[in-house]
Amino acid sequence: MTAHDSQHDGVQPPGSSASASKAPVPACHQARTPAFAHVSQLAELMAETRKYPQGVSRADLCETLTLGRNAVDRRLKTAIGLGLLIPAGRGMSTGGRAPEMWRFNPAVATILVLSISYRSSTVALTDLSGTIIDQIHWEEGILSDPHTVTAHALEHLGALHDRHPELPPAWGLGVSIPTTVDFRDGSLIAPATARTGGASDTLSWTGFPLRSRLARALNLPVWIDDEVNVLALAAAKRIGAPEDLLYVRLSLGLGMGIVSHGQVHRGAAAASGEIAHIQMTGSGGRSCRCGRKGCLETALSGGALEDAAVTPQALKRSPYLRRLDENGGIRCEHVFCGAAEGDPVCVRLLTEAADRLSVVLAVLTTTYNPGEVVLGGGVAQAGEFFSRAVGQALRRRVLPATSERLRVRMGDEDDALKGACRMVTDALLSAHVMHVWLPYGSPVGVAELVTHRRQDA
């Protein structure tokens, strides 16, 4: 037993005056602050339990957390009282009575997520493990005005909430957006990696107070991250995922998220993985939206695919593309879907894209030696054909030492939603955030979480 075990946990059991309810907690609420050691051990216990959907026993927890029985019992009691853990039957007997098992209960609360893409957005309602319960998709994204997108996002989030009065309340909102985010405070710090076609300009999102607007309007804590990091987080949390991986997002723009030792790697200026603007062809290349010429994105992105799909040669050879061109225009999503359906021109365009991508990935995988390269974003619609093409081209360019333990796979279309949920659940169940809400029994209506400027501490 540690010295802190004798202190009161400071946790209100559910059903008491400060338990989880939809009513906001008054600012003057006199909650007892739990000992930080208790909260940090509780956070470790939750992290451990979440790894094992089939459940863990007290003995398992004592061993992995290197805590005594009394300490584990105390944390178990708190977690069960909060509804975070539920019984999972009996485990295997090792001679005596079969041990009681406990597992994480993702249904104790819900999470709201907002995934802003280039030309479309999605809001979803999930449980704490990222299982999507309901979602609304609409045609408007980072190429549109931030005020309008935010207003519509709030309308749709409200509609999702109203559609499910039977569900427990939302504990937080996770936002994924295809632009660089300073994760310390969730501010949008640079133009998005999309080409700026037409009147709308992603520059208008730089400095837009998206996080505080959403937090105030919903009275919920909000976490925001660059879409590439959210995607990478989703891949990192899959069962069986390697500790080191790269997630390439190929949508209208190009980007990459990096996971190192199981953690999202952001770099010194939150710009790690910004591969779109590596100058590949020198100053003679095509003009890029960043103001320079010859960037990788001008040759390898959904935007580049759209340009290649409307050339006279492409239209001549593909009745599929010709039909789309005559009916409102070709978008990169059409090229991804066309390739999945075997349209020869779309397959050729994506095979060429796979080859270009393999040049960059050869350098990155040789340097970094990841266990997995995930290809996602809009290109997830292209299906396994694309990961095979990238894998084959990449293996030709690197030594077996790099490729023999490397898996190249397609991402899931809902990785951004799952990753955004995961970001919020991880934060809510981290020691420093739990320390704030634990006295109230739930994060619902805890003003300090809604107004806290930092999102990383």
Q: Which residues bind Zn ion (CB under 5 A)?
A: 277, 288, 290, 295
Shortest gap between Cβ of 18 and Zn ion (angstroms)?
52
Compute how many other C-beta atoms are within 10 angstroms of the C-beta atom of residue 450. Answer: 18
C-alpha 318/C-alpha 267 separation (Å) is 43
Shortest gap between Cβ of 296 and Zn ion (angstroms)?
8
Shortest gap between Cβ of 284 and Zn ion (angstroms)?
14
Residue pair 209/159 in contact by the 8 Å Cβ criterion: no
Give the CA dihedral 74, 429, 265, 302, nearest 10 degrees.
150
Identity of the residue, 293 or 452, whose beta carbon is nearer to Zn ion in the bound complex: 293
Shortest gap between Cβ of 278 and Zn ion (angstroms)?
8
Compute how many other C-beta atoms are within 10 angstroms of the C-beta atom of residue 63. Answer: 12
DSSP classification of residue 124:
E
Shortest gap between Cβ of 280 and Zn ion (angstroms)?
10
Residue pair 120/106 in contact by the 8 Å Cβ criterion: no
Shortest gap between Cβ of 225 and Zn ion (angstroms)?
22
Identity of the residue, 192 or 233, whose beta carbon is nearer to Zn ion in the bound complex: 192
Identity of the residue, 112 or 300, whose beta carbon is nearer to Zn ion in the bound complex: 300
Identity of the residue, 147 or 286, whose beta carbon is nearer to Zn ion in the bound complex: 286
C-alpha 288/C-alpha 302 separation (Å) is 13
Identity of the residue, 212 or 279, whose beta carbon is nearer to Zn ion in the bound complex: 279
DSSP classification of residue 380:
G
CA atoms within 13 A on the CB side of 148: 11
Identity of the residue, 301 or 455, whose beta carbon is nearer to Zn ion in the bound complex: 301
The single-letter code of the amino acid at 222 is: V
DSSP classification of residue 5:
G
